[in-house]
Structure 1
Amino acid sequence: MRTALSWPELRRSGADLRHLLWFRAATVRRPRTVAVALAALVVVTVAAATLPAAFAVPGDLDRLVRPALAAIVLVAVGGAVAAGGGRELLARDPAAVHPVGPVTDHLGALLLAPLSAGWLIQAWALLGLVAATGGVAAQPVTLAWLLAVTALAQAVGWAAEWLRRRRVLAWLALPLAGVGLAPTLPVAAVIVDGGAGARASTVVLLLVAAGALVALGGVLAVAAARLAPRDEVRRETRLHPARPTPASDLAMVRRIDRASVWRSVPLRRGTLFLGVAPGAVALAGGLEWPMLVLMPGLVASGCVLLFGVNLWCLDGRGLLWRESLPVPPGTVVAARVWVLAEVLLGGGLLTLVLGAVRAGRPSAAEALAVVLALAVVVGQAVSAALRWSAARPHAVDLRSARATPAPPLAMVGYSIRLAVATTLTGLLLGGLAGAARIDLLLAAAAVLLAVSALRIVRAARRWADPVRRAAVVAVVAA
């Protein structure tokens, strides 16, 4: 009998993966934009890996290499566990009519892992840090580390999904992350002070470990595929008793939208992960208030990627029914904005509460800057979500724990634009707070909030246009 990871199976999975990539490339709406985006990613990666080596840096940056290596492990593993094994190269419904095996699915998830804002930003930061401390000659070790950690994260993600489907706590798989945390100290030493021989041997060891972890992930993916996805089945078969009818149309529509979010497995897992993970990092690192000003932007730009960039995909095929309800379009937009703002504010507040435990007592300007930063970045994220959702809708089934609201490259573009905007906002407000200019802090926040409010109003007016609304409904409900 042929085993799951026999050579014929691996060869067939590789061929299937190649066909899936061709299929995804053939269905890209704007191939030139995709080519430019990929080229930009390559350019930024090369620049991050080489340019910092040309500048003199303080010697105390060496101590940051090990925490940076550990952060890559924690974020990659946490994301894979929350996503139930990684992202899908082919959505669940189209995959049902194609003979795509779990090993092919595993390999596709490995390829998609780097196409996320969290992975890319941390990888660029690590490459820049290594270039500044160990030079360009140490970058092969860094690249091998990233490859091994990505393979480890996928293996842990599949292990967690296998445990979930056997009605066991998925967090029991997290001790496997110690496989990646344990060698951070020797790898950091090799990056900073290692010679050519030590670096070459480390690269070989990391590549061998990556190959073994890829094989282990394939075994775990096959094991998980043999079991039913219990979390998803439980949510879809659960009984929800009727509740009293709300007093207004807005309250009724808001209840439906809120239920669509919290009854979706990927949205619930993703929101909790994005609220807890940055807060845990801030708590472990003992970040002070000037750094906490940046955290709401990171959380908001992450949470809005769960469904906000394709806001109407919450309804799916049900959007046809929703459009038949006697509810004004403005009420529908108001309810959707309300629910999205709830998710963003909840995740941001959870992060700030965790980070504030060890941040000490803030000054009045610092406390005000954190509050205003949360409000401003939520406004920016909501306004961007409304614009992008109407301009570039996608048909997505968010029932799968591994689903994303848009194609991978589109998600990368959205995430980078949001991360840049919210980070610059945090830096501006943090700088004004550091200068104790409360008057300028309030003025800057008022201007930014006004711009976001104006954009939200414009997006609501566009949604009121029946022709534009019909075009979005036709795509999302397809």
Structure 2
Amino acid sequence: MVSAGHRSRSGARGQWRRALRDVRHLLAFRAATVRRRRAAGSALAAIGVVTVLAAVLPAGMRVDADLGRMLAPGLAGVAVGAAAAGGGGRELIGRDAAAVHPISPVSDHLGALVLAPLSAGWLIQAWALLGLVAALSGVRAQGIAVAWVLMATALAQAVGWTAEWLRRRGPGWALGRFVLPVVVGLLAAPVAAVVGRIVRTGGPLSLLATAAALLALAVGLVVLGARAALATSRLVPRDEGRLESRTYALRTTPRSDLAVLRRIDRGSVWRSVPLRRGTWLLALAPGSIALAGGLSWSALVLMPGLVASGCVLLFGVNLWCLDGRGLLWRETLPVPPRTVVAARTWVLAELLLGAGAVTLLLGAVRAGRPTAAELLAVVLALGVVVGQAVSAGLRWSAAHPHAVDLRSARATPAPPLVMVGYSLRLAVATTVTGVLLGGLAEAGRTDLLLVLAAALGAVSAYRISRAGRRWSDPVRRARVVSIVSAG
């Protein structure tokens, strides 16, 4: 007779085999839908080249003693940062498209793991870690760096699914999803310290054993994440259901078309689960880090760019996906197209300004008393990077629209590889702006600060105005509407 335990193990192995087969088919399906395959291939090749260079080039650099002490926090930062960003991960296939396919939660979990590297945050952390390990111990220790990144990614998925499970359990369990990343960070820090010491002083055998242990831990976390995904799939998504079934009180009608459209757009943002969660996370997380670390005003100049480039990725790079199929209805309203663009721009700008202001207020608590130049640089940086992010979002939204259902808590406004390109371009532009303004503030040149901010603001204003004129073109507008409403 076949024992129950044997049947259970056979069923589990069959489930994993089916999940792996489904992921392979879904990846092939996603690859077949790529519009610009040559550009996608070039982007993946560039990511691979940069990864190899990050792991090899710093090996010949002379290392300062302080850099060695940064290794343990750097290793812990990868795990904690990845865990905080997790929430079930990205969808390998959209929710509506997946409704007709028997895709298991395990397949969904594995697909999210595969898509995890297609994130600018993940790539930047991984490149920094590879470069740091190469500078400290050379190429010989890169096996541990790779194993740690894989383990941190699996940990992030497990934490993300567990947090979603707690969220769906009801209000009584809500506190757990906030405590969970903190607990993970506290547990990861001492482990990272031990691994960092082995990287710096360990021999070949200890390096190999540590890498093997981290890989084994990663496999265990993948299995744990799959179990959490299965448990989560049995519960109803409360946040989405509550927002979609809630009754909103009728308010007085605004006096102008612009005010009406602004109210509609604000409702579209704050009644979308991923946008609401992402906005609060990006407003509070960088500010909390700045508050805990006691960053100076010269470092706070870089914070608005970080927040603005992150928030605009929530929906600003595909602005018209806020309406979805409702964009067809929006186009029937007797409102000039320029007014529609003005309302959408207004809402995006106020969202970015609000999130950046929250971050700066938190960071200012322990930053000390600023000089006039430092305070001016921070304020100008917030305004300039918001203009850059808004103008970039308007351009990309019209040039590369995508049909996306933002009701799903795991939805993203564009395909993963496209999002990587957007985030890297935004990060470079906003970081360079922050560095320039910070350098002028250090020199005390308030006059040059004003000139530079005015020049950059004028460029952004021109691009926003041009985007409004282009939206008035009925042919271009019809193309965007047909693509976005097809979802």
Residues 80 and 184 in structure 2, CA contact (< 8 A), matched pair in contact too: no
1:7 equivalenced with 2:13 (yes/no) = yes
Equivalent in the alignment of 2:3: none
Equivalent in the alignment of 2:28: 22
Looking at structure 2, the residues matched to 410 and 297 of structure 1 have their Cα atoms a distance apart, in angstroms, of 20
Residues 17 and 108 in structure 1, CA contact (< 8 A), matched pair in contact too: yes
Secondary structure of the 1:309 match is helix
Residues 254 and 260 in structure 2, CA contact (< 8 A), matched pair in contact too: yes
1:141 equivalenced with 2:144 (yes/no) = yes
1:140-159 matches, cutoff 5 A:
140-159=143-162
Equivalent in the alignment of 2:42: 36
Residues 73 and 189 in structure 2, CA contact (< 8 A), matched pair in contact too: no
Equivalent in the alignment of 2:358: 350
Looking at structure 2, the residues matched to 22 and 160 of structure 1 have their Cα atoms a distance apart, in angstroms, of 30
Sort the Cα spacing of 1:288 and 1:328 in 2 relative to 1 into closer, same or farther, 3 A: same
Equivalent in the alignment of 1:58: 64
1:99 equivalenced with 2:107 (yes/no) = no
Task: Give, in angstroms, the shift of residue 179 of structure 1.
Answer: 4.2
Secondary structure of the 2:70 match is helix
Looking at structure 2, the residues matched to 134 and 436 of structure 1 have their Cα atoms a distance apart, in angstroms, of 40
TM-score (norm. length: structure 2):
0.95
Equivalent in the alignment of 2:127: 124
Residues 396 and 406 in structure 1, CA contact (< 8 A), matched pair in contact too: yes
Amino acid in the other structure paired with 1:237: S
Task: Give, in angstroms, the shift of residue 57 of structure 1.
Answer: 3.2
Looking at structure 2, the residues matched to 66 and 5 of structure 1 have their Cα atoms a distance apart, in angstroms, of 40
Equivalent in the alignment of 2:178: 171
Equivalent in the alignment of 2:378: 370
Looking at structure 2, the residues matched to 379 and 233 of structure 1 have their Cα atoms a distance apart, in angstroms, of 35
Task: Give, in angstroms, the shift of residue 123 of structure 1.
Answer: 1.4
Looking at structure 2, the residues matched to 350 and 245 of structure 1 have their Cα atoms a distance apart, in angstroms, of 30
Equivalent in the alignment of 2:4: none
1:370-449 matches, cutoff 5 A:
370-449=378-457
Task: Give, in angstroms, the shift of residue 126 of structure 1.
Answer: 1.6
Task: Give, in angstroms, the shift of residue 349 of structure 1.
Answer: 1.2
Amino acid in the other structure paired with 1:23: F
Post-superposition CA distance 1:377-415 (Å, at most 9, x none): 000000000000000000000000000000000000000
1:222 to 224, 230, 251: 230
Task: Give, in angstroms, the shift of residue 285 of structure 1.
Answer: 2.0
Task: Give, in angstroms, the shift of residue 193 of structure 1.
Answer: 2.1
Amino acid in the other structure paired with 2:44: L
Equivalent in the alignment of 1:269: 277
Secondary structure of the 1:412 match is helix
Task: Give, in angstroms, the shift of residue 363 of structure 1.
Answer: 1.0
Looking at structure 1, the residues matched to 56 and 88 of structure 2 have their Cα atoms a distance apart, in angstroms, of 33
Post-superposition CA distance 1:122-145 (Å, at most 9, x none): 111121122212222121111111
1:48 equivalenced with 2:59 (yes/no) = no
Task: Give, in angstroms, the shift of residue 59 of structure 1.
Answer: 2.0
Secondary structure of the 1:17 match is helix
Amino acid in the other structure paired with 1:35: G
Looking at structure 2, the residues matched to 291 and 192 of structure 1 have their Cα atoms a distance apart, in angstroms, of 29
1:247-266 matches, cutoff 5 A:
247-266=255-274
Equivalent in the alignment of 1:208: 216
Sort the Cα spacing of 1:177 and 1:155 in 2 relative to 1 into closer, same or farther, 3 A: farther
Task: Please list every run of 5 or more consecutive structure 1 residues that lacks an aligned counterpart in the other structure.
Answer: none
Task: Give, in angstroms, the shift of residue 180 of structure 1.
Answer: 2.9
Task: Give, in angstroms, the shift of residue 72 of structure 1.
Answer: 1.2
Task: Give, in angstroms, the shift of residue 181 of structure 1.
Answer: 3.2
Looking at structure 2, the residues matched to 179 and 155 of structure 1 have their Cα atoms a distance apart, in angstroms, of 15
Sort the Cα spacing of 1:98 and 1:39 in 2 relative to 1 into closer, same or farther, 3 A: same
Secondary structure of the 1:183 match is helix
Looking at structure 2, the residues matched to 74 and 308 of structure 1 have their Cα atoms a distance apart, in angstroms, of 26
Residues 381 and 437 in structure 2, CA contact (< 8 A), matched pair in contact too: yes
Task: Give, in angstroms, the shift of residue 176 of structure 1.
Answer: 4.2
| Aligned residue pairs, count | 475
Residues 151 and 217 in structure 1, CA contact (< 8 A), matched pair in contact too: yes
Sort the Cα spacing of 1:3 and 1:180 in 2 relative to 1 into closer, same or farther, 3 A: farther
1:458 to 454, 458, 466: 466
Sort the Cα spacing of 1:375 and 1:3 in 2 relative to 1 into closer, same or farther, 3 A: farther
Equivalent in the alignment of 2:294: 286
Residues 4 and 219 in structure 1, CA contact (< 8 A), matched pair in contact too: no
Identity %: 66
Equivalent in the alignment of 1:68: 74
Residues 73 and 193 in structure 2, CA contact (< 8 A), matched pair in contact too: no
Of 456-465 and 110-119, more deviation after overlay is shown by: 110-119
2:112 to 102, 109, 113: 109
1:341 equivalenced with 2:344 (yes/no) = no
TM-score (norm. length: structure 1):
0.97
Looking at structure 1, the residues matched to 151 and 186 of structure 2 have their Cα atoms a distance apart, in angstroms, of 13
Secondary structure of the 1:6 match is helix
